[in-house]
Amino acid sequence: MSNDIIFDILIIGAGPAGLALGNILSKKSSKYLILEKGSVGNSFSNMPDNLSLITYWRSNYLRGEDKNLYELDSVISAKSYAEYLRKIGQGLNIRENTVVKSVEKIDRIFHITTEEGVFLAKKVVDASGYFSKPFTPSFSKVNPTCEMIHFSQYKNNSIIGSDDRVLIVGARLSAGQVLEEVAQRTKNLFLCTRGEVKFSSKESIRKWCLRNIKFIDFLISLFSLRKKLEVYMDLERRPLIENIRKYPEIFSVEGRVVTFKNGQSLEVDKIIFATGFCETTPHITGDYQRGHIQSFTTPGLYFLGRECLFNFKSRFLRGIREDAFRLAKKIEETL
């Protein structure tokens, strides 16, 4: 780091969003830098061992030259995607293991404070991603002795014993993935949800939609350009869901006993929260507003890779690919 260098654009995060934008900027005259709190591809390499992306490669490549890297209708693992991201990162100006503490604009220049020092930039793009902060519901805890982990910490079902009593919290895609794996190890399986479990269409229909994703996106855009899209549990997991006991939201955990909001209680050994992630920008207090790519209060501060920035696709990889070009053009016009 050097205080006499003022970057045109500083990007926070070297996930898909930061890398997609960085790749575009690397082909232009802009002086840019990407700061990554961990390592490139970290969020995907830390996903469960058996997890694969839910869409085809046609939706997930970030650079045009990578379109034929895999079969367009193939599904690759999260670990393989992490390797792909690292490949992109090799040619970009990235500082890994650099945690951003704060972003402040002083006299038209952004001061980005990190553990390594202060970086200066004319523009800042927060691309810290959707997986930055795991979400777990709040409830009372009194000396809990059962093990509690989030989906982001779950690797595989080797942590489950045959006699373990396991409560899965969640009702969407990731909850179904964990349920299926855990069910291979124990029959003492329970589900906790806020409401009914909704299922996707049949696998054959899902595959048709994935092959024709551009047409599907067009249809959705006619009715819900900025509406958040939910990813439901796979229909094939319905028989499993129907055969396990279900509970409402957790009220408290005391020791190994979980008490639910309807007054029922259950003794468990493990709780796995498949409850998603929070959008958060702790380093940019008060500036981020959902659905807006640019800060209302701080000119020159932008966001990428979050929900509904340009449209309903913005959080997904195919949307990030498109939004990165839009944002690069928008920023270039103001430099």
Residue scoring higher pLDDT (93 or 132): 93
Evaluate if residue 1 carries a pLDDT over 60.
Answer: no
pLDDT, tens digit, for every residue of 187-240?
999 999 998 888 887 888 888 878 888 887 777 777 765 566 677 888 888 999
3-state helix, strand, coil in the chain (%, to 5): 30, 25, 45
Predicted TM-score (pTM) of this structure: 0.87
Q: Please name the residues in contact with 35: beta carbons below 8 A apart, sequence gap of 6 or more.
A: 10, 11, 12, 13, 14, 94, 95, 98, 100, 112, 114, 119
What pLDDT shows up at residue 290? 62
Q: What is the pLDDT of residues 44-78, one digit of tens each?
A: 998 999 999 989 999 999 999 999 999 999 999 99
Where b means 16+ CB within 10 Å and e means fewer, 77-97 reads bbbbbbebbbebbeebebeee
Tell me: pLDDT of 129 over 90: no
Average pLDDT, the chain: 90
Give the helix/strand (H/E) hosting 168: strand 166-169
Provide the token pair at 250: 């957790």
Q: Which residues contact 317 (CB under 8 A, 6 or more apart)?
A: 16, 53, 55, 59, 60, 62
Cβ 5 vs Cβ 120: under 8 Å? yes
Closest of 259, 309, 301 to residue 279, by C-alpha: 309
Domains and CATH numbers, the chain: 6-133+277-332 (3.50.50.60), 136-198+233-273 (3.50.50.60)
- What is the per-residue pLDDT across 154-176, written as a single tens digit (0 to 9) for each? 999 999 999 999 999 999 889 99
Q: Which among 210, 163, 197 is positioned nearest to 274, based on CA atoms?
A: 197
Tokens of 188: 């003492």
CB-based contact 321:303 (threshold 8 Å): no
Q: Report pLDDT for 304.
A: 94
